[in-house]
Amino acid sequence: MATLVFDIETSALPLESFDEAQTEYLFREAGRQPDLIARETKRAEILQQFNLWPLTARVVCVAMLNADTQRGQALYLAEDFEEESPEAGGVEYRPCCEETELLEAFWDVARRYDHVVTFNGRGFDVPFLYLRSGVLNVPISRKDWLGYRYATEPHCDLAEQLTFYGVSGRDGAARKFNLDFYCKAFGIESPKSHGVSGLDVNDMMRDGRYREIAEYCARDVRATVELYHLWKSRFAGVK
């Protein structure tokens, strides 16, 4: 059974993308704060969260690997979409000029796979891709990735598996950690070891560092592949 492992990077849409009513709605909680400093602090907090919401952000990169061959693609937005972008480490780097093109290319690959693996994909990556695709009227080739939570087919979310579906809540023995923490705990090279994290993506997009975003996303996926093989050998079947 072919297994696709993927991760996405997202970047906030510019504020001018939203009309007055939308802007008021987005920052309503900031407007309720008692003083100017509190309002500005809350506003900055909300702006930081824009990346997390598919109605206020866009997909700027999807990296994916075949779990067995460890070959794949990184699709990423780039203004200079005709730039040379050679393969590296089994990953073909493919610049796209528009988010629509990126999503169409992703769903074309996804339809060829029976099984998908993510880290926190049920909570973030998959709903984000579904909603962005819906907003942009991009056909979704796999609509079964948010089915029965307690199944690992067709979608195995490692964040769910390593917390045993949240069995001990936020603070218990199986609390959820981020991918970086799991990698370090299990002796896998962390994707953050190169000094880049998801918090840097907005600035990197603004600075035109598109390929660097794709390389960071690809490192995330490679780490997820390693974590997946480790989970399969040590934990699969634990109930």
> Residue 187 above 80 pLDDT?
yes
- Span 136-152, mean pLDDT? 96
Mean pLDDT of the chain: 93
On whether residue 26 sits in a domain, the answer given is no
Residue 166 pLDDT greater than 60, yes or no: yes
Look up the pTM and report it: 0.93
Nearest-CA neighbor of 132 among 211, 62, 63? 62
pLDDT band at 54 (very low <50, low <70, confident <90, very high): very high
What is the residue range of 70's domain? Answer: 3-18+56-234
pLDDT value for 84? 54
Domain count across the chain: 1
| Residue 136 domain flag | yes
| Domain membership flag for residue 183 | yes
Note whether residue 164 is domain-resident: yes
Strand runs labelled E in 17-110: 57-66, 72-77, 91-96
Name the nearest CA neighbour of 108 among 75, 141, 69.
Answer: 141
Question: Does residue 220 lie in a domain region?
Answer: yes
CATH number for 210: 3.30.420.10
For residue 210, being part of any structural domain is answered with yes
Q: pLDDT band at residue 81, thresholds of 50, 70 and 90?
A: low
Max CA-CA distance within the chain? 58
- 82, pLDDT greater than 60: no
Whether 141 is in a domain gets the answer yes
Spatial strand order of the sheet with 3-12 comes to 91-96, 72-77, 57-66, 3-12, 115-118, 155-157
Residue 83 has pLDDT above 60, yes or no: no
71 pLDDT exceeds 90? yes
Read off the pLDDT band of 169 (50, 70, 90): confident
Evaluate whether residue 34 is within a structural domain.
no
Residues 120-128 have a mean pLDDT of 97
